[in-house]
Structure 1
Amino acid sequence: MGSIPTQLEVEVYIHATESVDKVINSLIDLLTTNAPIIIEVLYGHYGNPIYKVSSVIKDEELAMKIITRLCSSMTNRNQLMETISARVDSGGNIFIRLDKQEFAQGHVVLSDGDDVVRIKVKVGGDNNGQVSPLLGGSGF
């Protein structure tokens, strides 16, 4: 059995100065309408709203479709493959961070900053920490 995504988790924080609609619409475009999206309203130190938007996809087929869409849309996919060892934990989970501002404009760009869309791909199967075949089948 090869590497297969068993769960996909997405999380992003949207501040009051940012376009909530743009980020959420970009998230819907990536995840498809079948994915559940949870929006929580939090409040900053001065009472400003901060939106925590998250989604957990436990359907393996849907998770694979999303990964395929993500990878095929990524502008710097070579960077992902070059840095993959730093993005995988001991359990074989893949951590991808996307530039939130670019994402709101419909672009999928890796980022190592703090203002990001966080994606965690839980990988199942007999992968022995090898996730390249999973990504290789996803448009790389």
Structure 2
Amino acid sequence: MNIKLNNITISSIAHITEDEDKVLSSMAYFIPPEIDDDDINISTIDTEGCFGNPIRIHEIVLTKKPAKKTFKRIMDLLKRDERNVNKLKNDISTRIEKGKIYLRFDKQLACVGKCKLVDGDDVVRIVLGFNVYATKEKEEAVKETILNELDNWDFSVIEKNKI
């Protein structure tokens, strides 16, 4: 099987009642500090929510080396808490579609430097896009790649975060 990370999209919605800098900070938490600012392009769409309230949708798309480094950081952050690993392993099949895996992280916790995989709406959304060159289905190849990465960790070397 030949699988390659193609891109990572990090997005979040800033509601009018939220501090926009904190929303951007929660997105930046998942990007390693060594990524050059020139490699980070943020696009913003001003729109309205379901009830006509103003919202801003922020999106960052990373490719090539910045994407690979960010993938490693996201996996490392996930693996710091065994609950994240267990949650992802348990529901990975529902998070994968057409060569992509969809992750949601608690936006408020990310803003204060904590990583918690969630299913809610007030989140930082991360989509990992893969190019899959294999005879297997794309979803199975992505699932296998993520599970192998999650299994490549020794929980005894860190203190488990309590969120």
CA distance in 2, matches of 1:38, 1:87: 24
CA distance in 2, matches of 1:125, 1:45: 36
Q: Secondary structure at the match of 2:99?
A: coil
Taking structure 1 as the reference length, the TM-score comes to 0.81
Using the aligned pairs only, state the percent identity. 30
| TM-fit CA distance, 1:100 | 1.5
| TM-fit CA distance, 1:48 | 4.9
Taking structure 2 as the reference length, the TM-score comes to 0.71
| TM-fit CA distance, 1:3 | 2.1
**Higher Rg:** 2
* Paired position in structure 1 for 2:157: none
* Paired position in structure 2 for 1:134: 145
- Alpha-carbon contact 1:13-1:51 (below 8 Å) kept: yes
Q: Secondary structure at the match of 1:107?
A: coil
Unaligned runs of 5+ in 2: 154-163
Q: Secondary structure at the match of 1:18?
A: coil
Give yes or no for the alignment of 1:62 onto 2:62: no
Distance 1:134-1:43 versus aligned 2 partners, 3 A rule: same
CA distance in 2, matches of 1:46, 1:86: 29
Unaligned runs of 5+ in 1: none
Q: Which one has the bigger helix percentage?
A: 2
Q: Secondary structure at the match of 2:128?
A: strand
Alignment RMSD (CA, Å): 2.4
Distance 1:45-1:8 versus aligned 2 partners, 3 A rule: closer
- Superposition map of 1:29-68 within 5 A: 29-31=29-31, 32=35, 33=37, 34-44=39-49, 48-59=53-64, 61-68=65-72
* Paired position in structure 2 for 1:98: 105
CA distance in 2, matches of 1:39, 1:66: 20
1:76-107 deviation digits (Å, cap 9, x = unpaired): 12211221111111x22111111112122221
- Alpha-carbon contact 1:7-1:122 (below 8 Å) kept: yes
CA distance in 2, matches of 1:51, 1:87: 25
- Alpha-carbon contact 2:26-2:108 (below 8 Å) kept: no
